[in-house]
């Protein structure tokens, strides 16, 4: 697509019109985005943000699309993608500086190669660094991205600003970076030196556990619900006898109950309706109201489960 319709974007940025977002989400669901741009530089990003502001066009930043459910009617605005761009990566002693578009498994492998521990948990998470910072991604309350962050660089009011860890609030699947709608450009991670074989063994154990317990080879959006305090959402769903329950083409995974898989041409409505059934049934059984971890993207009426 010719970039001339956008103000001075370089050849490093790729522009798509009416791009099918199902191609950019792991669950392979969703309608079209009016504009979809893979941004190739900070300069282009600044110009693009100025352009959408002048045109009053809504926009969102999309990472790897691993925890997003896109409306079947799509997104009548701009999707900015950092994946396959914004992927600078530099190792400095026990620190790694990485762009927000770097995939977490790649980051984990680079750390292991340089005998740096702390990123083992990220080996099986199919997301970008920026997305991980937004949601404080991890595999437990112990292993979270916030535990190894030194600082985060964001683009705010057309200026790059570095925010130190003490000025960022993190909690379980929460970050003030997301709440403040910060546009994350890169982050500096502080790791510890460790024997490569020890790091590798831990990574292999994590991957083996994920393979045994999660439907990694299916089309899914990761964990659908957040874990309540000291409880497992998956266990609560399983105890509600919801494994294998299906609405349209969406099905509760028989391998892990907190995953919904796109079994056969599922729609976003199928998934949202199934989530509502899960939430209601678990609440009926336990009095616990599960909260979605997957996020909704769409312009039209938001399904009740996401409100």
pLDDT band at 5 (very low <50, low <70, confident <90, very high): low
Residue 3's pLDDT is 44
Set 239, 263, 293, 295: catalytic member? 293
Task: Tell me the per-residue pLDDT of 169-223, one tens digit each, with 9 for 90 and over.
Answer: 999 999 999 999 999 999 999 999 999 999 999 999 999 999 999 998 899 999 9
The yes-or-no answer to whether 89-212 and 216-306 have a common fold is: no
User: Which helix (H) or strand (E) is 59 found in, with range?
Assistant: strand 59-62
> Domain residue spans in the chain?
7-81, 89-212, 216-306
Set 66, 81, 108, 223: catalytic member? 223
Q: What are phi and psi of 123, to 5 degrees?
A: -60, -30
- Fold annotation for 7-81: 3.30.43
CATH no. of 216-306: 3.90.78.10
Q: What's the CA angle centered on 73, arms 7 and 103, to 5 degrees? A: 60
> Is 14 in the active site?
no
Set 173, 182, 186, 188: catalytic member? 173
- Residue pair 283/291 in contact (Cβ under 8 Å)? The answer is no
Task: Tell me the per-residue pLDDT of 261-306, one tens digit each, with 9 for 90 and over.
Answer: 999 999 999 999 999 999 999 999 999 999 999 999 998 889 999 9
Eight-state DSSP code of residue 306: G
| DSSP sequence for 79-132 | EEE-TTSS--EEEETTEEEEETTSBHHHHHHHHHHTTEES-GGGGG--SBHHHH
Residue whose token pair is 């948990």: 121
- Residue pair 121/206 in contact (Cβ under 8 Å)? The answer is yes
- Fold annotation for 89-212: 3.30.465
> Is 135 in the active site?
no
Task: Tell me the per-residue pLDDT of 37-87, one tens digit each, with 9 for 90 and over.
Answer: 999 889 999 999 999 999 999 999 999 999 999 999 999 999 999 887 889
The pTM for the full model equals 0.91
Q: What's the CA angle centered on 219, arms 26 and 108, to 5 degrees? A: 55
- Residue pair 108/62 in contact (Cβ under 8 Å)? The answer is no
> Is 223 in the active site?
yes
Task: Tell me the per-residue pLDDT of 204-218, one tens digit each, with 9 for 90 and over.
Answer: 999 999 999 999 889
């Amino acid at each position: 697509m010719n970039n001339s319709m956008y103000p001075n974007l370089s050849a490093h940025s790729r522009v798509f019109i009416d791009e099918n977002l199902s191609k950019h989400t792991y669950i392979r669901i969703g309608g079209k985005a009016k504009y979809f741009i893979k941004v190739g530089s900070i300069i282009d990003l600044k110009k693009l943000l100025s352009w959408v502001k002048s045109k009053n066009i809504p926009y969102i930043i999309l990472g790897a699309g691993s925890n997003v459910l896109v409306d079947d009617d799509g997104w009548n605005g701009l999707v900015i993608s950092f994946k396959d761009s914004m992927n600078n990566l530099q190792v400095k002693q026990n620190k790694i500086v990485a762009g927000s578009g770097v995939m977490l498994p790649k980051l984990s492998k680079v750390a292991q190669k340089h005998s740096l521990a702390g990123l083992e948990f990220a080996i099986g998470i199919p997301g970008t660094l920026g997305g991980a910072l937004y949601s404080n991604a991890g595999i437990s309350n112990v292993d979270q991205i916030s535990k190894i962050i030194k600082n985060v660089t964001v683009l705010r009011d057309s200026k790059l600003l570095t925010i130190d860890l003490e000025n960022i609030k993190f909690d379980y699947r929460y970050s003030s970076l997301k709440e403040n709608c910060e546009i994350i450009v890169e982050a500096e991670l502080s790791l510890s030196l460790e024997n490569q074989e020890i790091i590798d063994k831990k990574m292999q154990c994590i991957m083996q556990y994920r393979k045994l317990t999660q439907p990694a080879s299916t089309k899914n959006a990761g964990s659908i619900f957040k874990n309540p305090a000291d409880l497992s959402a998956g266990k609560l769903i399983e105890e509600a006898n919801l494994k294998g329950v299906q609405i349209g083409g969406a099905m509760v995974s028989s391998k892990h109950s907190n995953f919904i898989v796109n079994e056969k041409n599922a729609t976003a409505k199928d998934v949202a309706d199934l989530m509502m059934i899960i939430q209601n049934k678990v609440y009926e059984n336990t009095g616990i109201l599960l909260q979605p971890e997957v996020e909704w993207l769409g312009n039209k009426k938001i399904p009740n489960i996401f409100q």
